[in-house]
Structure 1
Amino acid sequence: MSNLEKHNSGVFVKGNLNGEAVVILHSSLSSSGQWRTLEFKLKDDCLTINIDLLGYGRAPQVDNPNSYNLDTEYVRIMNAVENVIGTKPFHLVGHSFGGANALKIAVQNPKRILSLSMFEPVAFHLLEEGTQVRQQVVDFAAVVASSSAEQAARHFTDTWNRKGFFDKLPSKMQQLMMADIDKVNLDFVGLISEKYTLEDCRKITCPVALIHGSHSQEISGEVIKRLLNVFPNVIEYEIQAGHMAPISHADEVADIIISSIKQR
């Protein structure tokens, strides 16, 4: 475990060595640090594997952006997990882009997942082509991709938080977000190009917690609506917050996730 951290791989292993493993994935333009509250609350009972996704935090950059898709993230995540726990089963947690990656992992490894907790997974490929909400995603991604780094970071963070959010951030934080915006564009490429279907999600039979905010954007809510109809063992949670509730309402979200883990 110490080797994983020492080599700046962006994989952080903490908690109870004898506990069940919990793999934790963050949102775009963020890092594993957003899950510190959850890590702390799980430390006595579980072994947490908190992963910086490619291009964020202390993770490496994407080797070949021209061939990037969610398989690129998947291979690295699963290698990291297996370096720690081998082929043992594990709980899975994800927020937004991390939630979409968590869903893909669960679809491809349904028998290994003890529980799946997702806060507004942005699995946008599940929105039907030709629908207005799918076009909203395409248009949003196009604006981010065609803007300057500063404009793109402002548009992205203001959309998922609230208008004016970016301009109130410290200059250092703004610069970090601007530096990571190219990866945000790759995230959208990976999300839209994914191939598994809603029907494929039916094979996920473990306890699923689908969490969303009452003040969140329509596009993330539409994904939630579709997923609620396919999981055989799902509980829906709504909290009085927006899309970034795992950060703004960290305690409340962590408690829901822990409740889902304990259901297993």
Structure 2
Amino acid sequence: MKELQAGVYYRPAAQPDADTVLLLHSSQSASSQWRHFIQTVGERVNVLAVDLLGYGNAPQASITTHFRLQHEIPRVQEAIAAAAVQQPLTVVGHSYGGALALKIVADQALAVNKVAVYEPVSFHVLPEDSPGMMEIRAISDAMHGKDATACTRTFVDYWNQPGYFDALPAKIQALMVSQAEKVSLDFDALLNEPLQLDDYARIKQPVLLISGEYTRRSAQAVVRALSSVLPNLTEQQVAAGHMGPLTHPAEVSPLLSDFI
């Protein structure tokens, strides 16, 4: 992968007229999370992997209040321009990156021919009084007013398992703690996105929606809600949790590769 600009990585396909796959990562991660998938797909497609704002080598978000998914889109558009690839694209996203992928397609911010997402955390599609929303609100509330380390521990352990953060190497802990402010912005964006559930019905492109068998209630609820409105949907499930693209890439990557 060649770094075209800070946090934007590109690998051309073997054939000049190949399609392009845009990769969008989860919160508390970076484009490097797609390493296994990039190896799996080989040189059949152009690969464009983008560090989202506040992660990897990307700049920090310039907006610190009322941050929304739409504020990520100019960076993605700039990455596409830097790579000089043709649209339409295939978009692949995980968690926060999955929610952003669906936002991009629903708003027609890019020309997209298909989209594959692993547990997009589009919490805004859930009713306020639903168990899934109440669970994720409780996590958000538990992080409110805490220091960066406590917030990071709560976030990381929720999506993995209790004690996961404390078992990580100190260097990884420090990196995650340094990204805690962006995680807070991500939560704001996901919970307050103006799109409603029915708005996702306008996504007519083929959608692959992958979920983990052992994921959290909030993520399961979002998957169920989206599956009720997406008109051109293929669903797959793997024996993994929410972090399946990182913890079980041998199961997830082939599903993505086959779909694209």
Aligned positions of 1:23-34 closer than 5 A: 23-34=22-33
Q: TM-score w.r.t. structure 2 length?
A: 0.94
Is the 1:42–1:48 contact (alpha carbons within 8 Å) kept by the matching residues of 2?
A: no
Structure 1 counterpart of 2:10, which letter? V
How far is 1:217 from its partner?
A: 0.2
Counterparts of 1:43 and 1:65, CA distance in 2? 38
How far is 1:68 from its partner?
A: 2.1
Is the 1:14–1:43 contact (alpha carbons within 8 Å) kept by the matching residues of 2?
A: no
| Corresponding residue of 1:13 | 10
| Corresponding residue of 1:124 | 123
Counterparts of 1:203 and 1:153, CA distance in 2? 35
Secondary structure of residue in 1 paired with 2:163: coil
Counterparts of 1:207 and 1:132, CA distance in 2? 29
Comparing 39-48 and 119-128, the one that deviates more: 39-48
**Structure 1 unaligned blocks of 5 or more:** none
Structure 2 counterpart of 1:112, which letter? A
**Structure 2 unaligned blocks of 5 or more:** none
Aligned positions of 1:143-222 closer than 5 A: 143-222=142-221
Runs of 4+ in 1 over 3 A off after TM superposition: none
Is the 1:110–1:205 contact (alpha carbons within 8 Å) kept by the matching residues of 2?
A: no
| Corresponding residue of 1:90 | 89
Is the 1:15–1:42 contact (alpha carbons within 8 Å) kept by the matching residues of 2?
A: no
Comparing 197-206 and 103-112, the one that deviates more: 103-112
| Corresponding residue of 1:235 | 234
Comparing 144-153 and 159-168, the one that deviates more: 144-153
Pair 1:208–1:7, CA change in 2 (3 A): closer
| Corresponding residue of 1:226 | 225
| Percent of aligned pairs sharing the same letter | 35
Counterparts of 2:200 and 2:257, CA distance in 1? 22
Q: TM-score w.r.t. structure 1 length?
A: 0.92
Is the 1:208–1:260 contact (alpha carbons within 8 Å) kept by the matching residues of 2?
A: no
Number of residues of Structure 1 aligned to a counterpart in Structure 2: 258
How far is 1:67 from its partner?
A: 4.3
Counterparts of 1:85 and 1:120, CA distance in 2? 29
| Corresponding residue of 2:113 | 114
Is the 1:21–1:49 contact (alpha carbons within 8 Å) kept by the matching residues of 2?
A: yes
| Corresponding residue of 1:61 | 60
Pair 1:62–1:111, CA change in 2 (3 A): closer
Structure 1 counterpart of 2:130, which letter? T
Structure 1 counterpart of 2:8, which letter? V
How far is 1:256 from its partner?
A: 0.5
How far is 1:109 from its partner?
A: 1.7
Secondary structure of residue in 2 paired with 1:103: helix
